[in-house]
Amino acid sequence: MTNKAKNRIEQITQHLDSKKDEALEKSEWKDTILEIKKRQYLNQIADPDDRGYIRQKTTGKLWVRERIDLFLDKGSFREIGSIA
């Protein structure tokens, strides 16, 4: 095997080091993932100061999350696009 081939194999091996890539991904995306999880959590909690929430409650209506909880079996609801 030539030196050029050995160097190329070494480059490819270093590039494919999965532990290095996983650590890099975790560090690069950690803040973004935490922000998304925070927004998803906040979307699931009613804001008692929100005009729409107040209007629904004063007219005797349930909040959307309350309707979902009553309508569907527990654990069967899978939300898609929860931060839109």
Tell me the pLDDT tens digit for each residue of 7-59.
887 877 776 656 655 665 667 787 888 888 888 888 888 888 999 899 999 99
**CA–CA separation, 62 vs 43, rounded Å?**
16
The domain ranges of the chain are 44-84
**CA–CA separation, 61 vs 12, rounded Å?**
61
**Which residue shows structure tokens 């996983």?**
22
Q: Which of 4-8, 56-60, 71-75 has the lowest mean pLDDT?
A: 4-8
Q: What is the pLDDT of residue 49?
A: 92
Confidence check: pLDDT of 62 > 80: yes
Q: What is the pLDDT of residue 16?
A: 66
